[in-house]
């Protein structure tokens, strides 16, 4: 068992302990029949959640009806995260109790009133009720988030670059990322999202990886037809993401895995996308040229295989005196780890991968998601000096069949 998994399990176990205390306290004044029934139901849901957590790889999720699968996954996530929120609140109360106890040991004569009572309830009771409300809100929120999984939002930005040739001023780019076709359960909804991207009338379209979860067959004939409608005057260019290589699926042989990747590459061609495999192309308008570089998946995180080869993709550009370069690289950790230090003339990098964790808060005052503790650049626009990276929040979804606070995205970038 890895240290990370051990830590996660330990947190969940402690959260279970506190959650039982909170639930028992909340129902203690109910009639015995209701008290026994509700607590038994709580224990049943907890047991089922643990079974799903421990045997997640053995459960054939794909064979379940889509609605049932979505509800089950959302319930388990919301139920578990709700308990973690309960843990955090109850730890605050226990910390307060500890500080009070230590304070009384040092200055025993300063407090003899006992537990402070405000508006008829003690602080402990207030915090316990707050914990229960937050836990319930988490569960309800994750169930609600299922309804957002196809709620595509168009995000628009304008970027000014002094090095951009005059002929490319006003270039309109649409970026789509992380489609994860195998997670979809509604062809019509996906078609609506692709149509929304097409309504932007972009000059060029970029897809920045993860067309599938694992298998090429996820892109059935209907999805091929849908994705083939994604067109632009200067073309559609794509790259591979970490899920496209089939690294997370079981294969009978290396040959079968390779065939799956070959089939996926053919799908990119069949739908009219130019797949860039550690290579670059020159885009021309009038007499002006810019470079488009596409690398295979490259991550600074140790858990991901490095398929990308930036040296190979960049080879020959230095001699051509191309003033402006765009890089398509699926994993945003590539930017800080290799692109910025070694390729300062790559002015714009477009990435995806993080999905914004499909969960977080985005408002005028606060932008937060747990994924930011893993990825420095996790959603939206970032820059260092004259270099920019935009991290798309993803078109599809993976694992959790929904979006809570971080909605699916179609990015429109205008170069000015």
Using one digit for the tens of pLDDT, what is the confidence trace for 20-36?
999 998 898 899 999 99
**CA–CA separation, 50 and 44 (whole Å):** 10
Give domain limits for the chain: 3-146, 151-415
Average pLDDT value over all residues in the chain: 92
Using one digit for the tens of pLDDT, what is the confidence trace for 178-198?
999 999 999 999 999 999 999
Q: Counting beta carbons within 10 angstroms of the beta carbon of residue 5, is it exposed (0 to 12), middle (13 to 18) or buried (19 or more)?
A: exposed
In this predicted structure, what is the pLDDT of residue 92?
87
In this predicted structure, what is the pLDDT of residue 313?
97
Provide the whole-model pTM. 0.88
The topology under which CATH files domain 151-415 is Purple Acid Phosphatase; chain A, domain 2 (3.60.21)
């Amino acid at each position: 068992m890895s240290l990370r998994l051990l830590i996660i399990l330990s947190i969940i176990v402690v959260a279970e302990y506190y959650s039982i205390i909170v639930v028992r306290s909340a129902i203690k004044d109910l009639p015995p029949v209701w008290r026994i029934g509700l607590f038994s139901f709580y224990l049943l849901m907890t047991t089922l959640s643990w079974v799903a957590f421990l045997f997640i790889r053995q459960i054939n999720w794909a064979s379940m009806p889509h609605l049932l699968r979505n509800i089950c996954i959302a319930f388990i996530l919301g139920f578990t995260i709700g308990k973690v929120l309960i843990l955090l609140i109850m730890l605050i109360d226990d910390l307060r109790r500890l500080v009070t106890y230590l304070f009384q040991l040092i200055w025993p004569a300063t407090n003899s009133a006992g537990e402070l009572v405000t508006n008829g309830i003690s602080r402990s009771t207030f915090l316990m009720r707050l914990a229960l409300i937050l836990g319930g809100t988490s569960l309800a929120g994750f169930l609600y988030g299922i309804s957002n999984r196809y709620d595509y939002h168009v995000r628009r930005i304008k970027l000014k670059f002094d090095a951009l040739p005059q002929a490319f001023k006003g270039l309109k780019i649409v970026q789509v990322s992380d489609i994860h076709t195998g997670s979809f359960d509604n062809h019509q909804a996906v078609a609506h999202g692709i149509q929304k991207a097409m309504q932007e009338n972009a000059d060029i379209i970029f897809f920045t990886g993860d067309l599938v979860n694992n298998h090429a067959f996820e892109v059935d004939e209907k999805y091929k037809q849908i994705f083939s409608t994604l067109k632009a005057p200067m073309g559609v260019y794509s790259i591979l993401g970490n899920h496209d290589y089939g690294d997370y699926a079981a294969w009978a042989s290396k040959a079968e895995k390779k065939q799956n990747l070959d089939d996926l590459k053919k799908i990119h061609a069949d739908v009219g996308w130019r797949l860039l495999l550690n290579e670059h192309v020159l885009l021309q308008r009038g007499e002006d040229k810019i470079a488009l570089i596409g690398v295979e998946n490259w991550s600074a995180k140790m858990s991901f295989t490095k398929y990308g080869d930036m040296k190979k993709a960049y080879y020959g550009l230095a001699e051509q005196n191309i003033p402006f370069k765009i890089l398509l690289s699926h994993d945003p950790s590539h930017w800080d780890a290799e692109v910025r230090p070694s390729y300062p003339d790559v002015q714009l990098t477009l990435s995806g991968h993080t999905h914004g964790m499909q969960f977080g808060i985005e408002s005028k005052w606060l932008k937060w998601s747990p994924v930011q503790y893993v990825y420095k650049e996790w959603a939206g626009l970032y820059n260092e000096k004259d270099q920019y990276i935009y991290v798309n929040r993803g078109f599809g979804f993976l694992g959790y069949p929904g979006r809570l606070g971080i909605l699916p995205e179609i990015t429109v970038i205008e170069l000015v």
